[in-house]
Amino acid sequence: MTDYVSIKNWAEDDKPREKLTSKGRENLSNAELLGILIGNGTRSKSAVDLARDILQIAQNDLAKLATLSIKDLCKVSGIGPAKAITIIAAIELGGRRKQATETPEFISSSKDAYSYFGPLLQDKQYEEFWILLLKQNNAIIGAHKISEGGMTGTVADHKRIFKVALENYAAHIILCHNHPSGSLKPSAADLKLTQKLVSAGKHLDLGILDHVIISHKGFYSFADAGLIE
């Protein structure tokens, strides 16, 4: 077994903070960047070692890392609530930056809807149901959260959906919810709800353009699948 060596005893070019300063952030590994957030290691492991332990439970997948809770992170020996909160806060800032830079002004495809909702919903640990309100030309009016639930589902009240849409003078709406499980397959309840809302929307002259399911694995579009006419 290799003897533990504290980061302060590493070569200058190998220390994460010094490496970022001299070589640029793009030249640091995920473990090194995460190690900077962690700050201090333990008596037996450096901050970068702890970062590698965290990445291991996330299967070296940054999307999965973003779904970990404080409790999940604290399962790693050497990571307490303070370090866990720092990591989660940094991930949240990154997600907000992505949402701010990628949010479209108009919706012309399911990909645009995903660009809008992805940063908001893909890392949520609980299911949420949202609607995107659109003008006649598909310009975005705004988004509204209808409900939130547990790990496996939430209730979407069709009366509230249409009330919000009509109060905001929306010509069209896009439905969206997330699957914390990662599955992108619509459930029987998803299909039934979508059909019900599409039918009711026609009577109100309010078009349901799409229903998008989001997870850390990507998105599923009812419209692209031919399930909305």
Judge whether 89 lies within some domain: yes
Separation between Cα atoms, residue 187 and residue 21, nearest integer Å:
49
The domain boundary residue, chosen from 99, 121, 154: 99
Q: Which is it for strands 207-215 and 172-178: parallel, antiparallel or unpaired? A: parallel
Residues 135 and 213 in one domain: yes
Residue-wise pLDDT tens digits, 118-158? 988 988 889 999 999 999 999 999 999 999 986 666 778 99
Residues 110 and 90 in one domain: no
pLDDT range class, residue 62, cuts 50, 70, 90: confident
Quote the pLDDT of residue 119: 87
How many CB atoms are located within 10 Å of the residue 125 CB?
A: 12
Strand order in the sheet with 218-221: 140-148, 128-134, 172-178, 207-215, 218-221
The domain boundary residue, chosen from 64, 99, 134: 99
pLDDT range class, residue 186, cuts 50, 70, 90: very high
- The string over 88-109, giving b where at least 16 C-beta atoms fall within 10 Å of a residue's C-beta and e elsewhere, is beebeeebeeeeeeeeeeebee
In terms of residue numbers, what domain contains 59? Answer: 7-99
Residues 111 and 217 in one domain: yes
- List of residues 6+ apart from 26 with CB closer than 8 A: none
Tell me if 176 sits within 8 A of 113, measured CB to CB: yes
Q: What is the pTM of this model?
A: 0.66
Least Cα distance to 202 among 164, 176, 228 occurs for: 228
On the question of pLDDT at 99 being above 80, the answer is no
The domain boundary residue, chosen from 58, 80, 99: 99
Q: What is the CATH number of the domain that holds 204?
A: 3.40.140.10
On the question of pLDDT at 97 being above 80, the answer is no
Quote the pLDDT of residue 1: 45
Residue-wise pLDDT tens digits, 190-209? 999 999 999 999 999 999 99
Residues 51 and 145 in one domain: no
